[in-house]
Amino acid sequence: MDLEARFAYQSFRPGQKELAQRVYEACVDGETLIAEAMSGFGKTAAVLTGALSAAEETGCRVVYACRTKRQIDRVVEETTRLQARHPFKAASMLSKFDYCLLRRRRAVPQESFGWYCTFNVSNNLCSYFLNVTLTEDFDRLVKEALARTPHHPELIRRSELAHVCPYEVARLAMAQATMAVVPYQYAFDPRAMPALFDRNSLDRRKTLLVVDEAHNLREFYRGLNSATITLDQISGAVREAEAMLMEEAAKSLSALQRTMEQVIAERQGWLLDRDSVLERFRRDQGTAWLQNLAFELSASSGAAWGSVVYGRKLPSLILRVGEFLVRLSTSSRSILVKWDNTFGLVDPDPVSGAADYMSEFRSSVLLSATVNPSSVFARSVGLKPEKVRAYHASGEPLVTVRTVVDTGTSTRYKLRTPEMFSKISDRVAAVIRSTSTGVGVFAPSYAVLAAISEMVSKKVTDRNMVSEARGLSNDQATDVFDAYRSADDSVLFAVQGGRFSEGEDFDGGAMGSIVVVGLALPPPSPMMYAEYASLKRAGEQDSYLMLSRLPALRRAFQAAGRHVRRPGKRGLVFFLDERFGNAAARELMPSWLRKDLVVGDLPPSSIESLSREFWSRHG
Ligand code: SF4
């Protein structure tokens, strides 16, 4: 095994070769490895080198699972570099929705897209799909995609020219590839897995699984194993069914709405007795009523036909209610909870099957820049610390970062007063005024983001300011990114844990200072109560650290690392919240954030002079 020969660059950065070697050994020996390396370390290139070397030696394939499309883009970039050095077949696959050429003709909501595609394919209405078996171009596209993995817009462009479905090109390429780069869904969601494992005969025993940004895994499983529905959504589904002339479905949905309203009104507290709710439906409506309704709504072709015949938008709320009812009537692990006008189905132990699942692979490598302490992280994703190995990459990139923790501010709920917001915005304005390059400001929530950005923009009027909004599409996010890059000294306002604080790179001098405002502790919710109760029953001592504190600190540290992408980087990180100043938080800080640390109650004038002094020395 010659790691140098496979590595895509002329030479390794400090620590990269050791990480590649460790990943190689773990993959060959069939271990589960937790590997930590800081932002800007170049871990993707190192891990790919180790995993692909092991794959070649053991006759395995590599599945590289990423949380976001941006992260997939980065891995695809590294993959094509590797392919140029040492040819191998690789493929990347997003969701059908991302690829669909047919949906360009009409607006199709993502929730009802599955119907849309199935309906068009099964009724021979999609010429892009029909062409898959008819054109030679299809095989050529698959071959080209395997030899040099294209970015998704490029695959879509080539497929459009040949008039074939890009998803089918990606799917066939995936079946033949030595390495698959996919979103988490294909690796962990049983509903999406068949596209990667069964239909393509990818044997998990002969697969090396790499999970990028693995600190997100518990949250991903939580989303996968929970569902919510509101009374408003149920009444919206009634209206959709009436509009589609689905009389029986509309009547049943109205009955469902009445019962759910009664349940909300009758019960105190957040926990509901799921069995007695199911029994109530049986008693009032008949034995199989709920199951039949769930099936009809979630699989109904009536609504799909209706939308085509009446030229209406595909109804998304009918499907949403149907999927909730399917889970309510079938998922025995979930408990039923309520708050306000919302029902939730929650798995109190969302990662219960994760360890068994990962053990089906020859080897699993979980990567992150922030998994410290690794034993808590391992337990948070259902793994037994004694059965996994942890590796902390040494050889941090030589970065010059000053970290400033301001203990005079806080976004604790009780302290969120106009005076506190004014204090915070004065400090953010001081950072912006004393930084001649770009600045990133990361808030704990959209509400705080809106308040702070509005106040700061009144105090600083000569800078290009752009802001992340809730629920941005990919194209809208690209617009925000482009707007930020349109000036060298722009200011970006975004949320911690959002799309701009992970997976988005602000390279070079594009962002000189980062301000992390507040600690993004998850708000208390019945979902969290249920998980706390489950961890307590299991004897977990660190449940608060695992479920609340660590995820919030990780979000903050991830945001802080956005501008550190390569060795030699200089910059400042400001944490505006007294909770970052306590000893426990400082201990959990990655070491690169502790090298030059200033802690204190720092008025704007002190912040400005700390910043100016840093830039006069390192600018
Ligand atoms: S087969 Fe492809 S192009 Fe046709 S509807 Fe499905 S995803 Fe869209």
pLDDT digits (tens, 9 = 90+) for 164-201: 999 999 999 998 999 999 999 999 998 888 888 765 54
CB-ligand 1 contact for 610 (6 Å cutoff)? no
Ligand 1 center–CA 321 separation, angstroms: 25
CB-ligand 1 contact for 528 (6 Å cutoff)? no
> Is the pLDDT at 548 greater than 90, yes or no?
yes
> Is the pLDDT at 397 greater than 60, yes or no?
no
As given in the structure block, the two tokens for residue 97 are 């929705």
pTM to 2 decimals?
0.89
What confidence score (pLDDT) does residue 417 get? 94
CB-ligand 1 contact for 156 (6 Å cutoff)? no
Ligand 1 center–CA 120 separation, angstroms: 8
Please state, in angstroms and rounded to a whole number, the distance separating the CA atoms of residues 325 and 329.
6
Q: Which atom of ligand 1 is nearest to the CA of 99?
A: 7
Provide the residue type at 80 as one letter. T
CB-ligand 1 contact for 100 (6 Å cutoff)? yes
Ligand 1 center–CA 115 separation, angstroms: 11
CB-ligand 1 contact for 101 (6 Å cutoff)? yes
Query: Which fold, 400-618?
Result: Rossmann fold (3.40.50)
Ligand 1 center–CA 101 separation, angstroms: 6
Is 535 within 8 Å of 547 (Cβ atoms)?
yes
Please state, in angstroms and rounded to a whole number, the distance separating the CA atoms of residues 261 and 265.
6
Please state, in angstroms and rounded to a whole number, the distance separating the CA atoms of residues 15 and 50.
13
Contacts of 311 (CB under 8 A, 6+ apart): none
> Helix (H, G, I), strand (E, B), or coil: what is residue 524?
coil
Please state, in angstroms and rounded to a whole number, the distance separating the CA atoms of residues 16 and 362.
23
Beta bridge partners of 335: 346
Ligand 1 center–CA 112 separation, angstroms: 13
pLDDT, mean of residues 243-271: 90
- Helix H or strand E encompassing 26: helix 16-29
Condensed to tens digits (0 to 9), the pLDDT of residues 407-457 reads 999 999 999 999 999 999 999 999 999 999 999 999 999 999 999 999 999
DSSP structure string for 419-438:
HHHHHHHHHHHHHHHT-SS-
What confidence score (pLDDT) does residue 433 get? 96
Is 366 within 8 Å of 214 (Cβ atoms)?
yes
> Is the pLDDT at 399 greater than 80, yes or no?
no
Local confidence band at 59 (pLDDT 50, 70, 90 cut-offs) = very high
Condensed to tens digits (0 to 9), the pLDDT of residues 1-49 reads 689 888 989 899 889 999 999 999 999 999 999 999 887 788 999 999 9
Sign of the Cα torsion 3, 9, 12, 14 reads negative
CB-ligand 1 contact for 128 (6 Å cutoff)? yes
Query: Which fold, 98-177?
Result: DNA Binding (I), subunit A (1.10.30)
What confidence score (pLDDT) does residue 566 get? 67
| Lowest model confidence (mean pLDDT) among 74-88, 163-177, 233-247, 502-516 | 502-516
Encode 126-156 in three state secondary structure.
Answer: CHHHHHHHCCHHHHHHHHHHHHCCCCHHHHH
CB-ligand 1 contact for 117 (6 Å cutoff)? yes
Residue nearest to atom 2 of ligand 1 (CA): 165
| Lowest model confidence (mean pLDDT) among 203-207, 271-275, 473-477 | 473-477
Task: Tell me the H-state helices in 273-382.
Answer: 274-285, 289-299, 301-309, 316-330, 354-359, 374-380
Q: Which atom of ligand 1 is nearest to the CA of 168?
A: 2
What confidence score (pLDDT) does residue 473 get? 77
As given in the structure block, the two tokens for residue 420 are 């506190």
> Is the pLDDT at 467 greater than 70, yes or no?
yes
Q: Which atom of ligand 1 is nearest to the CA of 103?
A: 8
Please state, in angstroms and rounded to a whole number, the distance separating the CA atoms of residues 290 and 283.
11
What confidence score (pLDDT) does residue 217 get? 95
Beta-sheet strand order (sheet of 179-183): 90-92, 179-183, 61-66, 207-211, 363-368, 32-36, 389-392
The ranges of the chain annotated as CATH 3.40.50.300 are 1-88+179-224+347-396, 400-618
CB-ligand 1 contact for 129 (6 Å cutoff)? yes
Q: Which CATH superfamily groups domain 1-88+179-224+347-396?
A: P-loop containing nucleotide triphosphate hydrolases (3.40.50.300)
Torsion of CA 594, 597, 601, 603, to 10 degrees: -130
Best CA proximity match to 80, nearest among 71, 90, 70? 90
Please state, in angstroms and rounded to a whole number, the distance separating the CA atoms of residues 228 and 287.
24
Contacts of 603 (CB under 8 A, 6+ apart): 408, 427
Ligand 1 center–CA 113 separation, angstroms: 10
Best CA proximity match to 426, nearest among 460, 403, 466? 460
pLDDT, mean of residues 323-335: 88
Q: Is the bond leading into 373 cis (omega within 30 degrees of zero)?
A: yes
Residue nearest to atom 1 of ligand 1 (CA): 129
Please state, in angstroms and rounded to a whole number, the distance separating the CA atoms of residues 317 and 155.
32
CB-ligand 1 contact for 108 (6 Å cutoff)? no
What confidence score (pLDDT) does residue 506 get? 66
pLDDT, mean of residues 121-137: 88
Beta-sheet strand order (sheet of 271-272): 227-230, 342-346, 335-339, 271-272
The ranges of the chain annotated as CATH 1.10.30 are 98-177
> Is the pLDDT at 573 greater than 90, yes or no?
yes
Local confidence band at 299 (pLDDT 50, 70, 90 cut-offs) = low
What confidence score (pLDDT) does residue 14 get? 86
Is 69 within 8 Å of 94 (Cβ atoms)?
yes
What confidence score (pLDDT) does residue 188 get? 94
pLDDT averaged over every residue in the chain: 90
**Which DSSP state fits 200?**
T
Residue nearest to atom 5 of ligand 1 (CA): 117
The most confident of the ranges 65-74, 269-278, 417-426, 552-561 is: 417-426
